Structure 1
Amino acid sequence: MSKYPRTKKSLGQHFLTDGNIIRKIVDAIPAKPDDCIVEIGPGSGAVTEILLQRFKNVTAIELDQRMVEYLTEEYPDLNVIHKDILEYDWSVYEDQNRPIHVIGNLPYYITSQILFNLFEYRPILSTATLMMQKEVAERIVAEPRNKDYGILSVQSQLMSSPEILFDVSPHVFSPPPNVQSSVIQFTFDKGGLDCSDQHLKTVVRMAFNQRRKKLSNALKRLDAELPVDEFNFDLRAEALAPHMYEKLTARLEQLGTFG
């Protein structure tokens, strides 16, 4: 096997080197051999190699041209796509007649952007098994009235069923990151919301961007008559459970708040 290129700090590359952790991650994917597997940022292919041993339909999306060339040479059966994951069009899988499972060790600096991109296409995805900064994973599963509870918590829990599977030490990466990591699995089993994704995002972000204020003040920029007889706007953003944000947004839509 030819030596793979060195990591690029500018791309946030940290490659897994521990075979036991790699197998543990792949073991966690609830997929059958014929299902479609999409790997985000395969890098040097440490996880990819195990995926190819277990699944027949593996696609790898990689931004680094050096890694694309390396993967193409090393794994002739792998479908390698040279693309920025934030520009990738997941709708290409809409006509697939098999479940789509996503896996990836996400660059820490664009984790949230990747997640929101996946949530947008959740109707065509089955699961996403992702490694990310432990701190971010804890925010995703945080419950109301917790300091970690926020925008990511609400949207993740409304649009999927997230579960932290296990933590990962920095020592199993090359080079080691300066943070602890966690593997978290999103199961896209929630179906559609009672409101539009975009309107939900507007309400949730407005509420949490001023999380120290009462909702009545935080949502003032909506420039709308709030249904004060149906919801308690004296609460702060962190007090509302995810389903209440969905309910509130749906009600505001009925009232014509968003035009």
Structure 2
Amino acid sequence: MPKVKSEKTSRQHKLIAKQGILFNKDFGQHILKNPLIIQAMVDKSALRPTDVVLEIGPGTGNMTIKLLEKAKKVVACEIDPRLVAELQKRVQGTSFQSKLQIMIGDVLKTELPFFDICVANIPYQISSRLVFKLLLHRPFFRCAVLMFQREFAQRLVAKPGDKLYCRLSINTQLLARVDILMKVGKNNFKPPPKVESSVVRIEPRNPPPPINFTEWDGLTRIAFIRKNKTLSSAFKQNAVTATMEKNYKVHCSLNNIDIPEGFSMKDKVENILKVNNFETKRARTMDIDDFMRLLHAFNVEGIHFS
């Protein structure tokens, strides 16, 4: 008898999905329908029976069910109340019901709970913000297996000198080890997105590098405004020097340092770049160690980016 009930539920579930009422373009909803890819993502996350899993955008629950089979608990974060109802219906009366916690709301505005692993087919428009929300989350999680737009995934792993190397690349790689696990064609989704996808594994560096990430982010933001220009050119922009001068004056005021008459932030910055051999370097060829040295060189002279 239970089998009949399960088949009936499954038929209803397919019928609702077929009607197309589940997919909201505003939320970037593309339901992953290929069971082989869902299983591969679950397998790659190397779940333990004691793990708490965070799933973002569970959709109709295809991945959720597979995670519930392996983990101690699944916390599913969903913004669409219709999908929440569908997910609740799917586990109702099963052994999974007590293992599933649903958080309703925008994951970017939600305080994340404790979790060991994150597995998700996420809406692509929140990719960048979500990556950094996860990487700055404490306590540390073990790893995340996430579906991204293919070009975004390639940016995450790009190295200095690569065409796609950018601020996203270096900021992510500072905080985590990143690997592309597999490519996923658009026909594996319903409705199919306009782009190809890739699954990425992100493992936070624990302990994290001894660096103030807000400052690091401020520095790389300036350097990558025009990643093909020299640093000397990037730091000469009026808006950049004005912000740096404001921060510098705050630093001097807090530390009782006198600012000499006729002080020029442009000259000071140029001198720091020259003395440390960064004047002609370009962001697109610089690695993490280069940026660490540059940040240290500025900080030693009282220049901060937070």
CA distance in 1, matches of 2:138, 2:220: 19
Moved more, 30-39 or 155-164: 30-39
1:233 aligned residue: 279
CA distance in 2, matches of 1:248, 1:86: 31
Moved more, 59-68 or 120-129: 120-129
**1:34 alignment partner, one of 47, 50, 63:** 50
1:252 corresponds to 2:274: no
1:80 aligned residue: 102
Instruction: State the structure with more CA Rg.
Output: 2
Deviation (angstroms), 1:192: 2.4
1:19 aligned residue: 35
1:199 corresponds to 2:245: no
2:148 aligned residue: 132
Moved more, 155-164 or 224-233: 224-233
Aligned partners of 1:44 and 1:71 also within 8 Å: yes
Q: 1:1-259 to 2 correspondence within 5 Å?
A: 1=9, 2-3=12-13, 4=16, 5-75=21-91, 76-77=97-98, 78-90=100-112, 92-93=113-114, 100-121=116-137, 123-220=139-236, 221=240, 222-223=244-245, 224=265, 225-226=268-269, 227=272, 228-258=274-304
One-letter amino acid matched to 2:37: I
Aligned partners of 1:40 and 1:62 also within 8 Å: yes
Question: CA offsets per residue over residues 155-214 of structure 1, 9 Å max, x none?
Answer: 111100000000001111000111110000001125223321111111111111122321
Question: CA offsets per residue over residues 1-34 of structure 1, 9 Å max, x none?
Answer: 2425521111110001111111001000033110
RMSD: 1.7
Q: Find the residue that maps to 1:209 and give its secondary structure.
A: coil
Moved more, 189-198 or 16-25: 189-198
Q: 1:123 to 1:253 in 2, by over 3 A?
A: farther
Q: Structure 2 unaligned runs (5+)?
A: 1-8, 92-96, 246-264
CA distance in 2, matches of 1:128, 1:157: 14
Moved more, 143-152 or 245-254: 245-254
Q: Normalising by the residue count of structure 2, what TM-score does the alignment of the two structures yield?
A: 0.78
Aligned partners of 1:194 and 1:250 also within 8 Å: no
One-letter amino acid matched to 2:157: V
2:260 aligned residue: none
Q: Find the residue that maps to 1:167 and give its secondary structure.
A: strand
Q: Find the residue that maps to 1:130 and give its secondary structure.
A: strand
Q: Structure 1 unaligned runs (5+)?
A: 94-98
- How many residue pairs align between the two structures? 253
Aligned partners of 2:32 and 2:189 also within 8 Å: yes
CA distance in 2, matches of 1:19, 1:101: 20
* Segments of 4+ moved more than 4 angstroms: none
CA distance in 2, matches of 1:121, 1:254: 29
Aligned partners of 1:122 and 1:159 also within 8 Å: no
